[in-house]
Every structure is written in structure tokens, then in C-alpha cells.
Amino acid sequence: MRHTALAQTWFLSLRQGRQDPDMIYFDNAATTWPKPPQVIETMVQCMEQGGGNPGRAGHRLALEAGRIVYAARRAVAELVNAPDPMRVVLTANVTEALNLALHGLLRPGDHVITSSMEHNSVMRPLRALEAEGVELTVIACSPDGALDPGEVEAAIRARTAMIVLTHASNVAGTLLPIAEVGQIARRHGVLFLVDAAQTAGACPLDVQSAAIDLLAFTGHKSLYGPMGTGGLVIGPRVNADRLRPLKQGGTGSRSELEHQPAFLPDMCESGTPNVVGLAGLVAGVDWVRRRGVEAIRAHEMALTRRLLDGLAAIRGVRVYGPQNPQQQVAVVSLRIDGMAPDEIGLRLDEEHGILCRVGLHCAPAAHRTMGTFPTGTVRFGLGALNTADEVDASLAAVDCLARKGQ
Amino acid sequence: MSGMGYAVILLPSTSHAMHAEATLKQAGIACKMIPVPRHISSDCGVCIRIAREDREAARAALAAAGIAWEGMHDC
């Protein structure tokens, strides 16, 4: 029973981490932690009492599983004011959702516009498509990550098929002007894809008022669900007949046919879905909605303000991004003079119990824009469950390291 | 449901059936998800059974929600 012993060792070390009162988790931009207890309880309940495969049979356990999957579509649709839950395609993560939108809709000869603050989940599929004949314009953002919507509009050509933007940078936290760009896209008849990895659940999002045609989201960040959940919200302007699925296979529908069904969401959801994860996502979205996205945003803005003010007072610390909570999400990138980001990260963890992320954050373009490539930065990602005391403890730790760096 | 007999609503997929079930329940129409009867379709999925007397109300509720059904059969 070697495997059982190994699993027990993992769980034991995880439990010890949870009980460490001095540990401060500031890596919420990578994944939020801890998860609300109801998310965990719902997932356990789903495994204990559920167990069917949705859409694969008509018995009660299969139907219950199907209702969970439907509830996930509906929860996300309601959260972002999407009119049709049948146009919420569920995926394993936001990367898969972005790949579905990009590879599924763009063809050689099409022109795409994006920003220089994108994560590689956008940039890598676009570079791969570029090699296949899609033309790409990357609009340079300012060093703090800000994007001028006028430059996006000026870059539109006759063959422009799509504008792709992150809602907020995962490195600098900068919020991009999606509402303005959405209107530009709509005026020019161009599809607008938004990467909401850092914002779904953390910032108010309305796909209709922001004129978003495609919204890619993840379940495990500010929606407080588990990893392995995410999706693509597809608006009415997107012609599903033009969308090429990333994979083909069993859907539980039209089983008499050997060809992939041509309707949403089934055409893009082959294979058994992550029902347990989606049950957790439903509970996570419910938790977010009960707390209120506006209230979460206000809390995170207050923490960000506290962190930025404190950092500004520490000698030898350089902060990147807008340094204004109104213009960013609760993500703060910094450097300390005389100390490499990886050393800062290690010392914050080992000497101060503060967990953050260092390096390039899978976003080399963003770091080039900020002037922090290739060394990268130290990133503090704050979440709804962090407190002012934790911010203060982190400021003391950064101050301590900054003194040593001099 | 009454003793007047049933009707079944066929939908493109289980996902749509779940959407239709939630919509009908919200409209106060009693319904039950059952495997598609073999004599109606070869599809291996599920359909929604309602009371025959609720057919018009169901049509209206589904149309209002923009749900396209594939067929409604008495059974």
C-alpha cells in the first residue's frame, strides 16, 4: 500500500500548512486559497452521493450529474449577465477556453489585434496561428500596462476578425479598457474576446454592456472553485457554425451519428466532464454572489491601497503597474534593490511564511512592456479572504528584506 | 400528474433537456426526465415527460426561454 502511504503524507503536509497560523497566502493570482468550506463540502457530497455520468444514461445519478453541469453553466451565465446558458461551454481551464476561441474561429488570412500585456495562454496560440497565416498586431501598452483604445481602433483593417484582450494583467494588475474596446469592436463588426482569468468574480463583469462576444474564465481563481474548471461564454454574434471544436468524441447526444454534433454546447464538450469540479464551481460562484462581487472588489481595493501605500514608504522597493487600486486588480509586482526576485520569494516563504510568485508569470510580453524581462518580479496576489493584518505583516517582511539588500 | 396521459418533449441533447427542465419547473409545470422511448427516437438520451394537458403551457414556457425543442409526442 505504498501509494496510500504517499497520499497520506501529502494530505498530512497539507493539513500542517493549513494550521500554520503564521503562513500568509499571497498567491491568489495563481489560484485562490483557501477555498470556502462549502466548496469542499459540495465536492465531497457530489462524490459520495452523486457518481453518475451526465448525459450518458437516463438513471437518477446520471440526471443529477447533468443538473450539476447545467447549474454551472447557469451560475456563470447569471454572474456575467450572459443571456443563454447553452452558450456557456465548460472547459478544463481558461487556457483551453482561449484556445477554443482562437483556434476555433481564426483562419489563415484573418487579422487579429491583441495587447502587449497578454499571458502566454493568449500569446502562444496567437503565435502558433501566426505561423499558419493569421496576421497579428500587438498593441504596445505603456510600462504600467495601460492600453490606449484609440491605438486598437487605428489598427483595425478590412480583414480584422478579432480583438483579444486580457481584462487585467496577471503581472501588473492593470485593468484594460474593455468597455471602450468592446464598443470599438462592435462598431467595426469585429469579434471581441476577453481573457477574464484575473477578474471573473473579482470585478463586476457584464458581457452585454461591455459588448464582449467571447469571455474566457477560470473557476479556480476569483470564482473560488477547484482547479480543472473554466469555460467560454459565447455571445449571440458568434456564429457557432464557424466554430471548430478542439476535440471530437462522445457527447451523449446524437449517438446514432459518427459525426460531431453541430450545436452548442455539446459540439465543444466531448468526453466526460469534471462533474465534481463543476459542483465545486457552482458552490464557489454561489459564495462569490452571496458575498457580492462589488463587496469583494471593494475589499481587495482597500487591501491593495494599504499594500501600495506601505511599499511606497520602504526604501529600495520598486513597484510596477498603475499603483492605483482603481486602475488595477489586487495584483502587485515589485522588486527590491540588491536582491533577485527568486531570492526574495524564497526568503519571504522560509523566513516570513509569506507565499507569493516570482519570475515571469507566464507572461514574457508583459514583462518586456514593464521593462522587467528577463529577471521578472515578485508578485503579490491578494484575495477576498486576505486581511489588513496580513498586508501589514508582509510590509514588515519586505522592509526587513529591503534593509538586508542595501 | 393527471390520468389524462403524458406527452414527451424531445430536445437536441441532455444539456438542453436540463435547461428545459429548469425552465418548466420555474414556470410551475410538473415534469420528469425519462429515457427517450425507443418507438419515438433512436437517440440514447433523455426527454422530458409532462402531462398532456400542459402541452400548450410548456410550449409557451420553452418558447419564452428561447429553447428549441425537436418534437412533442403524446405517449
Q: According to the per-residue pLDDT averaged within each range, which of A99-108, A358-367, A397-406 is highest? A: A99-108
Tens of pLDDT, residues B37-75 = 888 876 667 899 999 999 999 999 999 999 989 999 998
pLDDT, tens digit, 9 for 90 and up, residues A195-248 = 999 999 999 999 999 999 999 999 999 999 999 999 999 999 999 999 999 999
Facing residues of B46 across strands? B35
**pLDDT tens for each residue of A366-381:** 999 999 999 999 999 9
Find the length of chain B: 75
Pairwise CA distance, residues A322 & A172, whole Å: 8
Would you say residue A85 has pLDDT above 60? yes
Q: Note the pLDDT tens digit of each residue in A142-172.
A: 999 999 999 999 999 999 999 999 999 999 9
Q: What's the CATH code of the domain at B58?
A: 3.30.70.260
Q: Return the residue of A nearest to B66 by Cα.
A: A84
> Residues of CATH 3.40.640.10 domain(s) within chain A?
40-290
**Which candidate, A196, A229, A227, places its Cα nearest to that of A212?**
A196
Q: What is the mean pLDDT of residues A16-33?
A: 83
User: For testing the chain B interface, which of A61, A68, A70 should be mutated: the one with the most B CBs within 10 Å?
Assistant: A70
Determine whether the interchain pair A252/B16 forms a contact, defined as Cβ–Cβ distance below 8 Å: no
- Please provide residue A97's backbone torsions phi and psi, each rounded to the nearest 5 degrees: -65, -45
Please tell me the predicted confidence (pLDDT) of residue B44: 62
Residue A322 has pLDDT above 50, yes or no: yes
> With pLDDT > 90 as the criterion, what percentage of chain A qualifies?
89
The residue range of the domain holding B68 is 6-74
B29 close to B57: Cβ distance less than 8 angstroms? yes
| pLDDT at residue A256 in the model | 78
Q: Quick one: pLDDT band at residue B2, thresholds 50, 70, 90?
A: very low
Report the candidate in A129, A102, A123, A211 with the shortest Cα–Cα distance to residue A169. Answer: A123
Domain ranges in chain A with CATH number 3.90.1150.10 = 17-36+293-405
Mutate to test the interface with A, among B10, B11, B15, B32 (most CBs of A within 10 A): B15
A37-77 residue pLDDT tens: 999 999 999 999 987 999 777 889 999 999 999 999 999 99
pLDDT reading at A1 higher than 60: no
How far apart are alpha carbons B12 and B70 in whole angstroms? 6
Residue B1 pLDDT level (bands cut at 50, 70, 90): very low
| Number of compact structural domains in chain B | 1
What residues does A215 pair with on adjacent strands? A194, A233
β-bridge partners, A380: A332
Q: Is the pLDDT of residue A300 over 90?
A: yes
Q: So which residues of A are the catalytic ones?
A: 362
Write down the residue that cell numbers 414527451 correspond to: B8
Contact B19 A70 (CB under 8 A): yes
pLDDT at A404 over 90: no
pLDDT at A12: 56
Asked whether the predicted pLDDT for residue A7 surpasses 70, the reply is no
Contacts of B66 in chain A (CB under 8 A): 84
Pick the CATH number of A40-290 from 2.40.50.140, 2.60.130.10, 3.30.1310.10, 3.40.640.10: 3.40.640.10
Write the pLDDT tens digit of every residue in A245-263: 999 998 877 777 889 999 9
pLDDT at B9: 96
On the question of pLDDT at B3 being above 70, the answer is no
d(CA A102, CA A132): 12
ipTM of the complex as predicted: 0.88
Which chain B residues contact residue A73 at CB under 8 A? 15
Question: So what's the pLDDT on residue A304?
Answer: 98
Q: Determine the distance in angstroms separating the CA of A235 from the nearest CA of chain B, rounded to an integer.
A: 14
CATH architecture of the domain with residue range A17-36+293-405? Alpha-Beta Complex (3.90)
In this structure, what C-alpha cell is assigned to residue A282? 457552482
Q: Between chains, do B22 and A73 touch, taking CB under 8 Å as contact?
A: no
For CA atoms A89, A91, A93, A96, the dihedral sign is negative
pLDDT tens digits, one per residue of A89-102: 999 999 999 999 99
Q: How far is CA A304 from CA A231, A301, A385, in A?
A: 28, 5, 13
Contacts of A253 in chain B (CB under 8 A): 12-15, 43, 45
